[in-house]
Structure 1
Amino acid sequence: MQSHDTEPPLAGNVAPFTAQGMLLGLRKVSVLLPGIVVFAVAFGAAASAKGMSLVETLLMSALVYGGVSQLVAMELWRPEWSWGAIVGLAVVTATVNARSILQGASLQPWFARYPKGLNAFHLFFFTDANWLIGTRYQAEGGRDLGVVVGAGLGLWVVWVLATVPGHMLGALVSDPRRYGIDLVMPIFFAAMIVPLWRGRRAAVPWVVAGMVALLTAKLVDGYAFIIAGSLAGAVTGAFRDDAV
């Protein structure tokens, strides 16, 4: 009997993209959906508190779809804007989202096999969660891009829909940390990363990235620790690969 978590056999070097793969991606990411709902509700509540209308809030969730960077933007949101404030907001959110460049680069050999139009489509829905799902899936021998697309689309739909009750509820769930919901993402990532363990030698870039991120967080205000840790881990991994 064929496992529900495997893709059908394919001939040659065909780059698969199937509905079955999309359903598999949705199943893989479903464990994260309750946490995503709460964070989206928190964003909706924060947007309401800042004076944004429901339509404006929905458009931001649907078109910007920045997750954490949207919550960061709400922290910096102002009733009146100057060009300096706009540039500051852009720099902060770009720093938070810069990790996506490294994430996409890590999967580029897989993504490059698909048409540019399809890549442009699925990268709009590309998040930390479906990047990690795709990384683990590919490491296990999977090739169906539908897994990444299905996970991303599922998260996007839930994020947009959950923004509505958040905006209506106001500040009721404005701080997910009060309920421990902020632990959902770290727990999910830890559970997904464990099967990627390749021994102590391969763990060196992980340790370097964590230490640099922690040090940067202590020394530099804001969200620079995200990109600093990512770059440190990537550079360390590249040098170790060259040394092998």
Structure 2
Amino acid sequence: MSPALRPHFSTAGLRHGARAALPAFPGFIMFAVAFGTAAAQKGLSLGETLGLSAFVYAGASQMVGLEIWQQVWTPSTILTIMTVTAVVNARMILLGATLQPWLKDEPLARTALNLFLLTEAGWLVGTRYHSEGGRDVGVLLGCGIILWLVWLVATLTGFFAGALVPEPRRFGLDLVMPIFFGVMLVPLWKGAKLALPWLVAGLVSLVVHALVPGYVFIIAGALAGVAAGMLIE
């Protein structure tokens, strides 16, 4: 294998990855601002909000985590939020697995950083670059770092915007999360057949929510949707 086709790392790749991430900025900014605003209205402190964005760094899981957030934590609520975020983020296992041929010879620390910073947007940038013959792992890391920084800055902006509004219901800010999730579903529509798992997940969630206290309905709905999708396929 020629050197050009071997995976390698360079600072030029970091810069290329950062530039390649620019088209993802608007979506990242809007999502992170919405999270920061919702977190402020939920009563989280600035440190808690930035901590979630910096270390959880998973948009959908952060939004779901807000719904479960408690002022007083118990072992059961901690287990619940851990389980729910794990289920929501399980898709990242598959995305990470596809990068194995590219990252297998990388140092462990850099591989761990790449996987921590992995997002759908970063994965798309990286895999497209790789499919076109690129092998500089710096592209993947550069994209991941810049998106993470944008996420933090936008979260901070959203937090202060939300904290400045004393009556969120008056301005409809309490609807940020449900509206956001509703809008996110629109581009995922691929026809009635592929929407059946959504319907199954929703119905199971409603039934479990009515019968079982707590947040088991989120896990039940997710698993039911996955099972329905597998059966349909």
TM-score normalized by the length of structure 2: 0.74
Residues 16-31 of structure 1: pairs in structure 2 closer than 5 A: 16-31=8-23
Find the partner of 1:139 among 120, 131, 134: 131
1:179 and 1:73 map into 2 onto residues whose CA distance is 15
Cα displacement (A) at 1:181: 10
1:220 and 1:21 map into 2 onto residues whose CA distance is 46
2:59 matched to which residue of 1?
67
1:39 and 1:110 map into 2 onto residues whose CA distance is 29
Find the partner of 2:111 among 109, 116, 119: 119
Runs of 4+ in 1 over 3 A off after TM superposition: 171-174, 176-187, 209-216
Letter in 1 for 2:49: T
Cα displacement (A) at 1:14: 4.1
Provide the aligned C-alpha RMSD in A.
3.4
1:60 and 1:109 map into 2 onto residues whose CA distance is 30
Letter in 2 for 1:77: W
How far does the alpha carbon of each residue in 1:54-101 deviate from its partner, in whole angstroms, 9 at most, with x for none?
122112211221222111101221222222222111111100111111
Aligned residues between the structures: 206
Unaligned runs of 5+ residues in structure 1 are: 1-9, 191-205, 237-244
1:225 and 1:30 map into 2 onto residues whose CA distance is 34
Find the partner of 1:86 among 78, 93, 96: 78
2:68 matched to which residue of 1?
76
1:50 and 1:180 map into 2 onto residues whose CA distance is 17
CA contact (8 A) 1:58 1:164 kept: yes
CA contact (8 A) 1:176 1:182 kept: no
How far does the alpha carbon of each residue in 1:31-68 deviate from its partner, in whole angstroms, 9 at most, with x for none?
11112111111111111112111122112211221222
TM-score normalized by the length of structure 1: 0.71
Letter in 2 for 1:167: F
